[in-house]
Amino acid sequence: MLRFQLKPFSKIAKEKALRIEESDFASKGVVKHSMYSEHVGIHDYVPLLHSISSDLFDEGPNDIRHFLKDNGNITGKYYDAKDFAKILMWYFKGRDVYITFKRHPLDNYIYQNEIELLPRTRGVLTDHPMVPLIPSEKFMLHHI
């Protein structure tokens, strides 16, 4: 569950996002969100990523990449999704956030591919080549 106040989004931008949502977004690597959802509310989610990305990746002491590494999260290892959610809750001060950053087809949002999670359930749906390597109910931390 994302519990952030979203900024107002223009009608034109929302319509454009809805067209993207209706397209084959999975094959384009569009942002996915909480609980391995099969459907993405891009018109809600993209403004959220845009608004928080500069804080998450500011290269300062609160940069989420440093936070994850300091908490033992290493690229290429498998992690339990529930444990990782607890770490993210700690970082986001109690907000229940499942966050992934992946390339967006509009390609005008900074830092959108800094963190990539590949849940096994989602990988099966998209026929991702790494799926056989991911244990059930786990995900791979692909890149920090």
The residue with tokens 């990449």 is 65
Q: Which residues contact 91 (CB under 8 A, 6 or more apart)?
A: 64, 67
Handedness of CA 17, 19, 21, 27 (dihedral sign): negative
Better-predicted residue by pLDDT, 46 or 131: 131
Which 3 state secondary structure label does DSSP give 55? helix
Evaluate if residue 92 carries a pLDDT over 60. yes
Assigned token pair, 81: 């999704």
Laid out side by side, the sheet with 138-143 consists of: 78-80, 138-143, 116-119
Instruction: Average the pLDDT over 129-141 and give the result.
Output: 65
C-alpha distances (whole Å) from 88 to each of 19, 99, 112, 114, 127 are 30, 8, 17, 15, 27
Mean pLDDT of the chain: 56
- Picking from 77, 22, 131, the residue whose alpha carbon sits closest to that of residue 69 is 77
Higher pLDDT, 101 or 52: 52
The 10s digit of each residue's pLDDT in 28-77 is 444 444 333 444 444 454 555 555 566 666 777 777 778 888 888 776 67
